[in-house]
Chains A and B, each alone.
Chain A
């Protein structure tokens, strides 16, 4: 006992370091688990408030860019709506069309803080659970994929962006109808990796890549990026493709959150599958 006490007193600096280091690494390990809700992050009420105040100042500096982005998006959407289409067949009366049912709602939000130069990058947005934000919602900006909601407090939420170790999204290439998945290797914030496109598929530089909508997180055909370079990796049956991201994440000031109205239905089905798996054992 005396020796133990002597040992602790003599090496307390090292022991204290060990304890604190273990605490830090434990925090790190548990926060990178993205199913878990964490209390200490930028969607925390206090931090969110500080970041929002800050962004209220810095917003003025990029108003011009934000306006241009919104103008572009408005123009794009205006080309899609009914009134900008010329009616070719007159005299056909359209009643309430039951062939279409609305699946997605969009919720606007401002980015109040964010990074692109870390290994794992997050945005903080000024909308929270009170505004209908839910964990797992997809996030898009100007028609491009940005990320998904990782954590939400009452007034703020953190978004796990495409530039993150844990981000993976199933995508398709409309020109050859192949599908694969995109993720980020942690280097250039403009380039993503696309895996799973077989060698016999015809891939050219500049081909566009869109979301597949399988996870229910994003609608079909949200723009992801264009093919930047194609290479063959020895020994694998797949193309090694780099994608140029469709959006400069460093210049994202407004985002839209995607609410999938069928999310509960999808989840129920998936849970039923899970349940079936367990009950069979």
Chain B
């Protein structure tokens, strides 16, 4: 895929995920523990070679869009920026022996099931930990917060996998 293609794809993904989150997923209330935040998928799927000066402002604006609709100004902005910051570290941690294919993006069908699940679990866990601790702003409810983190983590990773499978074109398979 060439540069323009990648750019267009990611722009569309940004818009679709923000609209999906604002119009549909924010309405889904599955109890206090499970919060649906599928927008993290955008951060996961950015190409390997996304430069640092781009990924941070991108995720900052992603979080900002979510925040405006939820009246939590700054909360998702902060968490998404944090996720963007730790993403290179996670990628380095999970690097296969032969390195990454520069032209690929870290998706389910290019990197394989095991790699993608561990990548998603780690990054979404870091994002949720940051998010829920800042949301609560205190350490007294630590058990409750961790239950929230893990319930949302498994739900969202499941949804991320589902989204990947549903949107995969036959070419990727």
Q: Which residues of A contact B (CB under 8 A)?
A: 12-14, 16-17, 20-21, 23-29, 31, 38, 40-42, 44, 47, 50-51, 54, 58, 113, 115-120, 122, 124, 158, 165, 186-189, 250
Contacts and interface: CB of A to CB of B under 8 A. Distances in A.
A24 B81 contact: yes
A23 B80 CA distance: 13
Contacts of B34: 117
Interface stretch (B19-27, B39-47, B92-100, B115-123): B19-27
B56 interface: yes
Contacts of B167: none
A17 B56 contact: yes
Contact of B75 (A20, A28, A51, A124): A28
Contacts of A20: 56-57, 60, 77, 81
Contacts of A116: 29
B52 A12 contact: yes
Given A25-B74, A31-B74, A186-B141, 10 more contacts: A12-B53, A13-B53, A17-B85, A26-B74, A50-B69, A113-B27, A115-B70, A117-B30, A122-B71, A186-B144
17 contacts: A12-B52, A13-B56, A16-B52, A16-B53, A24-B74, A25-B134, A26-B74, A31-B72, A42-B69, A42-B71, A115-B29, A117-B35, A118-B70, A122-B71, A158-B71, A186-B144, A189-B32
Interface of B: 22-23, 26-27, 29-32, 34-35, 52-53, 56-57, 60, 63-64, 67-75, 77-78, 81-82, 84-85, 88, 134-137, 141, 144
Contacts of B53: 12-13, 16
A187 B144 CA distance: 8
Contacts of A40: 64, 67-68, 73
Contacts of B32: 117, 187-189
B38 to A, nearest CB: 15
| 4 shortest interchain CB distances as A-B pairs | A28-B74, A27-B74, A24-B78, A31-B73
A120 to B, nearest CB: 7
A226 to B, nearest CB: 21
A207 to B, nearest CB: 25
Contact of A24 (B22, B23, B30, B77): B77
A118 B60 CA distance: 20
Given A24-B74, A27-B74, A119 B85 contact: no
A188 B32 CA distance: 7
A114 to B, nearest CB: 9
B27 to A, nearest CB: 7
Contact of B29 (A28, A122, A250): A250
Contacts of A17: 56, 81-82, 84-85
A47 B78 contact: no
A27 B77 contact: yes
A115 B26 contact: yes
A24 B56 CA distance: 12
A16 to B, nearest CB: 5
A58 B27 contact: yes
B31 A117 contact: yes
A179 B4 CA distance: 66
Given A58-B27, A119-B136, A186-B136, A25 B78 contact: yes
Contacts of A120: 71-72, 135
A40 B70 CA distance: 10
A21 B83 CA distance: 11
Nearest to B36: A117
A116 B60 CA distance: 25
Contacts of B141: 186-187
B63 A24 contact: yes
B45 to A, nearest CB: 20
A27 B63 CA distance: 12
A26 B81 CA distance: 14
Nearest to B144: A187
Contacts of B64: 40
Contacts of B88: 13
A120 B137 CA distance: 11
B81 A21 contact: yes
Given A58-B27, A119-B135, A47 B77 contact: no
